[in-house]
Structure 1
């Protein structure tokens, strides 16, 4: 009975690791594709007004994919790390929005 349990557990672990490896390879392929799209947009000579936001969006997508899959944030037990990362993202976005507001919209103390 114990031998059957160990064999079933081994098969389960093997299947789980295979699925995880497949997901990491797929995610890596998606990130390579996004990088190639960004290079193609720049090389095609498209307008800066289109290329800059598009490349920034592709970069944000890649960062999310890297955090979620390559840093194993999809696994259980990473709640505190997720909280700190997302809190840092909120602070960074707030800082960027305020810096842009102060820089381009004039004197905020008027």
Structure 2
């Protein structure tokens, strides 16, 4: 389970990429004029779009994980288990009796 979670995290976590984009934006803003700042705003818009897509992919991955776990889990009933075991014991004890 942890391996699966690590793979999902590595696939969808882009925080280090976003951090690099933020630092580059600050540096450019200090050095650019008005035209350059317009381009910088476009870059910031693209960063926001990337973040939204990343959040959506993360949500989808979490949802898929939860549905996969839910499919693997079957409701456990102690009474059903005891009934099954009793039936098996009865079959072993009385093999000539049919169901």
Q: TM-score, normalised by structure 2?
A: 0.46
Q: Which has the larger radius of gyration?
A: 2
Q: TM-score, normalised by structure 1?
A: 0.43
Q: Which has the higher contact order (CA 8 A, sep 6+)?
A: 2
